[in-house]
Amino acid sequence: MSNHLDSAIKEINLHAVVRGYWTFDVETFPALKKAIYERTQSDKKMLDTLRREVISFSEEVRTIKPYSANAVSLVASDGGNNQLSFDPFYVQLVRVTDSYGKNLCVDAVSPSTDTDELGKAQFNSNGTPITALGWMMKDLGVDNPPHLSRLSPMIPKGSDIRDHPDSVKPGWLSTYRDLCEWAVLYERICYTTFATDTLIVRDGLLRSVIFAGDLFIKWRKNVENVMDRIYREDHRRVYLVGIAKHSKVITRYQLAMAIENVFPSGDARYVRIPRDLEAKAYIWNEYARGAEAEGKDIGVPRFVAGDMFLVRFGSMDGDPIWAVDIFSKQSYDASEIFGYLLNDAINGFPVPFYPRCLQKAHEYAQIVDFDLEIFQDNVFEAVRDLLPTEKKNIIDGWKFRSDLSMRRYG
């Protein structure tokens, strides 16, 4: 009895310590309130600086007038949606869809997947690309040999996975998913015939740190050349933008912009953020160094393909503000591009004043309901085939319990 009592007391003490760590007592509040007030007062000069910076670009604010164009969005599925009840090998479904619901890339990988073999799978035996990722690898010159680790240093070498599988972290799966999205974006622009002017919208800014060396620069220049060719030969404009709901630039300037009424009510509005002010929002300045830096002695712009704008598609001062990267070569067409986006954003649902095409692509990319059931069934069957005949009933039983649970609590 004494041992049980001691255990109970220890458990109670443990919970008391945990709760005490997170709970403020009455005596703490006055001191905490005083410390917060003093820190805020001492930081007032920072707010004054932000207001001056905001005023410096407030005269560049422009209103947005609607235009009509064909808007297409591309979105990759999120691994967080793969909520499988049975997944012993951490299999991740990679799927990239567009706003019409078309699957542009579908693959399944796990942390133990041999990345050298995965790279080879993007090509036929004669070296011809068969996937969007294969075409991008070929055009970027990493198809011989087609090792994904040459495309991104965040992808482990196949030899590391084969020889030291336990030392490889599963984070590379997210990098592979991002590469597939960039590849689909590349293929859509470079290998598609456009019947009308088209605006392609990426979920996220036009920036990336996952490419090796100068490959992202090459990606950007290839896209620039193809866009020029499309206009020269087909007289069609293909525009590229990236949109982010959250950005350190918005976080830095949102309060100051509200104080200075940079976006007054009445119209949808946008403003370009100067590179030097944008860089102040980042710990790493290279993330705000674009094509304009080429040829200057300030470092190669290896990670940025767009110019940043802050935009409000609603007409009221309380409507949300988004960060938008316009493909750098097209930033002078910002008025027209935002006019196209406005037409799509005013019908945004369920997120108001956020491009509907992007929201539709998100809906199609989600791995839920029937798609998730199919994915789960495939995992069950694949694992079942690994087992000897007399052990297959183990998987059958688990599958039955999983199906019953889904019907009861889904």
180 falls in which pLDDT band (50, 70, 90)? very high
In percent, how much of the chain has pLDDT > 90? 51
What pLDDT does residue 384 have?
Answer: 64
Query: What is the DSSP-derived secondary structure letter of residue 25?
Result: P
pLDDT category at 245 given cuts 50, 70, 90 is confident
Question: What CA–CA distance (Å, rounded) separates 228 from 136?
Answer: 18
- pLDDT tens by residue, 21-53: 445 566 777 888 888 878 888 878 888 999 999
pLDDT confidence of residue 239: 94
Rounded Cα–Cα distance for residues 268 and 334 (Å): 13
Cis peptide before 352 (omega within 30 of 0): no
Cis peptide before 145 (omega within 30 of 0): yes
| 343 neighbors 326 (Cβ within 8 angstroms) | no
Any idea where the domains of the chain sit in the sequence?
70-365, 379-409
209 in Cβ contact with 324 (< 8 Å):
no
Q: Which phi and psi (to 5°) does residue 298 adopt? A: -130, 15
Report whether 169 contacts 41 (CB < 8 A): no
Q: 401 pLDDT band (50/70/90 cuts)?
A: low
pTM of the prediction? 0.81
Instruction: Reply yes or no on whether the pLDDT at 292 is more than 90.
Output: no
Name the least confident of 102-116, 284-298, 349-363: 284-298
Q: Which of the 8 DSSP states describes residue 323?
A: E
For the chain, the C-alpha Rg in angstroms (whole number) is: 26
pLDDT of residue 368: 58
Better-predicted residue by pLDDT, 386 or 41:
41
Query: Looking at residue 15, what is its pLDDT?
Result: 44
Q: Which of the listed ranges 91-100, 305-314, 354-363, 373-382 does the model predict with the highest average pLDDT?
A: 305-314
Sign of the torsion angle spanned by Cα atoms 143, 170, 156, 243: positive
- Average of pLDDT values for 187-199? 92
Q: What is the mean pLDDT of the chain?
A: 83
The answer, yes or no, to whether residue 261 has pLDDT greater than 60, is yes
Residue % of the chain over a pLDDT of 70: 76
242 has a pLDDT exceeding 50: yes
Please give the pLDDT value at position 392: 64
pLDDT in tens, 118-140: 999 999 999 999 999 999 999 99
